[in-house]
Amino acid sequence: MPERTRAKVLVNLIYDKDYKGYVAEVPQLPGCMSQGKTAEAALKNARKAIRVYLREAGGRRLREVPEVITSQIEVRL
């Protein structure tokens, strides 16, 4: 039996100072977001949110998003 290929999605992970935790946004799935007090918790919760989103979407295809690596740098003026 052929091995099942897992889908990969891009997750933007942003620290929210007011929440004092992380917000995970999935650009390929409009409106799909989650959060957690640690980066690991936010990603774990994002995986759950992605599964629910895809189940509710009824098999709709993921939008193509180019693979990118980003970083954010604070610049003092």
- pTM reported for the whole predicted model: 0.72
Q: Is residue 42 part of a domain?
A: yes
Q: Is residue 3 part of a domain?
A: no
Q: Is residue 47 part of a domain?
A: yes
Q: Is residue 7 part of a domain?
A: no
Domain of 33 in residue numbering reads as 12-57
Task: State the Cα–Cα distance between residues 29 and 65, nearest whole angstrom.
Answer: 10
Q: Is residue 19 part of a domain?
A: yes
Question: Which residue type occupies 10?
Answer: L
Averaged pLDDT of the chain: 83
* Domains: count for the chain: 1
Per-state percent for the chain, helix, strand, coil, to nearest 5: 25, 20, 55
Give yes or no for residue 28 having a pLDDT over 80.
yes
**Beta strands of 4-64 (E only): which ranges?**
12-16, 21-25, 33-36
Q: Is residue 35 part of a domain?
A: yes
Q: What is the mean pLDDT of residues 24-52?
A: 94
